[in-house]
Amino acid sequence: MKTAYDLLVIGAGPAGLAAAHAAAHADPLLSVAIVDDNPASGGQIWRGGAQHQQDERARLLWRELHAAPNVEFIHQARVLSAPQPGALLLQTPAKALTLRYQRLVLATGARELLLPFPGWTLPGVTGAGGLQALAKGGYPLDGKRVVVAGSGPLLLAVAATLKQKGAQVQAIVEQADNTSLARFALGLLATPSKIAQALQLRGRLKGIPYLRGSHVTAAVGNADGSAVRAALVRSGLRDTEIPCDYLACGYGLVPNPELAQALGCATSAGTGSISADAWQQTNVPDIYVAGEGTGVGGVDKALVEGRIAGLSAAGQREQATAHFAERARWRAFAARLAHAFALKPAILALADDNTIVCRCEDVTHGELRCHSTWRSAKLQTRCGMGPCQGRVCGGATGALYGWRPDTVRVPLSPARVASLMD
């Protein structure tokens, strides 16, 4: 394995694969490495390996990247820190290594937004995307009763995956109301491919109740608290208990900005997304960003931003401009998505004083709501100082209190002492 590359791409999801492909084919002399912490490419959208997806775009990218002599994949590698400009310290299962680069593309994706409600820490309560990932990885769900709840089109994809894996999906609980959903559906006329996807999903979910304008108010556990037994769902003024073995609840996605912030890249104060110019370049020279890190918008936005970032990093700006119109179309779709599935105030009012917000350190809403900043809460309650380093509670506290973490600590991922010593 080399230790220096012309272009380093962090993330092997759609954006990262598209960036590496565009750069490598634009300049065959450019040495390109794709770094990802998973054992297979594809990220969360194409989880399990891009070569195994039904989406032909995934299979094509995988084939052509593996055939390119100037591209190298580095799997199961996590970025720990940036010890100096133009270098990243990585940890693999076997060793630590430092990779140097001339240009860098960040395609670090997004994570699920999990919001607290009474009972959300019970065994069997998961994120919607989290349970989908477990199911794709082989977690047994055959015959299990599942309620899928939260907000956004991801709920439909999750329910379809769970049903395919043998789960009995009891209901899909969507907090957006009929008016918002109808407006969003009308907007799909600008992106016909999404209409086909939506119709296909609805066909696969035939017979499953789709509760609009509804939300889970609590997870009801067994008498001994050993597991969830039902989801308490509010539709209008009516509360209904829906029996379940699993409650998969997620409220969309938020970007993963930690590596970008550690490198000095600017982020949006409101959304936490990584800022970029027309060429997908951050405020730091030679560092580019693509995909969900710039704002959540799905696979099509990720692919086109990845192509622009890769071409720009390869010095092919004229070719990159040919994709600007397509990017504008998918960014408009992302804006409609965010508007249609914006959180209702009732969702943010579910946690009571005894509801845990920071799961790593068992810090409750009652302990946190009296603080004015993330730093104050950390100093006095240890919120965000557990193993996840605020990756779960950071999104929740951002939604509940409007806080944003003001610092990024390294190592960015849990590290062996030997990795840091080396």
Q: Collapsing DSSP states into helix, strand and coil, what is residue 147?
A: strand
> CA-based diameter of the chain, in Å?
65
Q: What one-character-per-residue DSSP string does 211-239 give? A: ETTEEEEEEEEPTTSSSEEEEEEEETTEE
Q: Model pTM?
A: 0.94
| Averages of pLDDT over each 10 residues, the chain, 422 residues | 94 98 97 96 92 95 97 97 96 95 98 96 97 94 98 95 97 97 92 89 94 98 94 94 98 95 91 95 98 96 98 97 98 96 96 96 96 92 90 92 85 90 76
Class of domain 4-111+254-337: alpha beta
pLDDT of 409 reads 85
Query: Who's near 273: CB < 8 A, 6+ residues apart?
Result: 255, 257, 267, 293, 294, 295
Ordered by start, the domain boundaries in the chain are 4-111+254-337, 116-250, 345-401
Considering the domain delimited by 116-250, tell me its CATH architecture: 3-Layer(bba) Sandwich (3.50)
Looking up tokens 């030997």, which residue turns up? 418
What gap in Å lies between CA 178 and CA 380, rounded to an integer? 43
**What are the start-end ranges of the E strands in 139-295?**
145-150, 168-174, 210-211, 214-221, 228-235, 238-243, 246-250, 253-255, 287-289
Helices 299-313 + 14-26 axis angle, to 10 = 30
Burial degree of 84 (CB within 10 A; 0-12, 13-18, 19+): exposed
What gap in Å lies between CA 97 and CA 35, rounded to an integer? 12
pLDDT of 388 reads 87
pLDDT of 396 reads 94
pLDDT of 149 reads 98
Q: Is the dihedral of CA 112, 259, 302, 138 positive or negative?
A: negative
Of 164, 162, 134, 166, the C-alpha closest to 147 is: 162
pLDDT of 414 reads 87
pLDDT of 282 reads 98
Cis before 123? omega within 30: no
